[in-house]
Structure 1
Amino acid sequence: MIKLAANLSMLFTEHDFLERFAVAAKAGFRGVEYLFPYAYAPHELRSALDDNGLQQVLFNLPPGDWEAGERGLASLPGREAEFRDSVQEALRYAEALDCPRLHAMAGLLPAEADEATREAHMTTYVDNLRFAAGELAKAGRTLLIEPINTHDMPGFFLNRQAQAREVLARVGADNLRVQFDLYHCQMSEGNLFANLEAQLPYLGHVQIAGVPGRHEPDVGEVNYPAVLERLAALGYDGWVGCEYKPAAETAAGLGWGIAYGLQA
Structure 2
Amino acid sequence: MIFSANLGFLWTELSLPDAIRAAKRAGFDAVECHWPYDTPAEQVVQALSETGLAMLGLNTNRGNTGAGDNGLSALPGREAEARAAIDQAIDYAHAIGAGKVHVMAGFASGPDAHATFVENLRYACAKAEQLDIGLLVEPLNRYDAPDYFLQTTEQAVAIIDEVSSDALHLMFDCYHVQLMEGDITNRLKSLMPRIGHIQFASVPDRGAPDHGEVDYGYIFKLLDTLGYRKPLGAEYKPGGDTDATLGWLRSVKA
After TM superposition, the score normalised by the length of structure 1 is: 0.92
Give a deviation string over 1:73-97, Cα, whole Å, max 9, x none. Answer: 1111111112222222112211211
Give a deviation string over 1:10-49, Cα, whole Å, max 9, x none. Answer: 1123434432111111001121111111111111111121
Cα distance, 1:171 vs. partner?
0.7
* 1:255 partner amino acid: G
Q: Superposed, which structure 2 residues align to 1:31-46 within 5 Å?
A: 31-46=30-45
Give a deviation string over 1:85-121, Cα, whole Å, max 9, x none. Answer: 2222112211211111000011102xxxxxxx51100
Distance 2:17 2:67 in 1: 25
- Equivalent residue for 1:173? 165
126, 129, 137: which is aligned to 1:137? 129
Tell me which moved more, 66-75 or 3-12: 66-75
231, 237, 241: which is aligned to 1:245? 237
RMSD after superposition: 1.4
* 1:24 partner amino acid: A
Contact 2:29 2:231 in 1 (8 A): no
Distance 1:53 1:142 in 2: 21
- Equivalent residue for 2:115? 123
- Equivalent residue for 2:25? 26
**Percent identity among equivalent residues?**
38
- Equivalent residue for 1:114? none
* 1:249 partner amino acid: D
Contact 2:16 2:39 in 1 (8 A): no
Runs of at least 4 residues of structure 1 off by over 4 A?
none
Cα distance, 1:261 vs. partner?
3.3
- Equivalent residue for 1:211? 203
Go from structure 1 to structure 2 and tell me whether the alpha carbon gap of 1:66 and 1:18 turns closer, same or farther (over 3 Å shift).
farther
Q: Superposed, which structure 2 residues align to 1:167-206 within 5 Å?
A: 167-206=159-198
- Equivalent residue for 2:79? 80
1:228 partnered with 2:227: no
Cα distance, 1:260 vs. partner?
3.8
Distance 1:65 1:48 in 2: 29
Unaligned runs of 5+ in 2: none
Cα distance, 1:236 vs. partner?
1.5
- Equivalent residue for 2:105? 106
Contact 1:204 1:238 in 2 (8 A): no
Contact 1:4 1:260 in 2 (8 A): no
After TM superposition, the score normalised by the length of structure 2 is: 0.96
Unaligned runs of 5+ in 1: 110-116
User: Secondary structure in 2 aligned to 1:230?
Assistant: helix
Cα distance, 1:178 vs. partner?
0.3
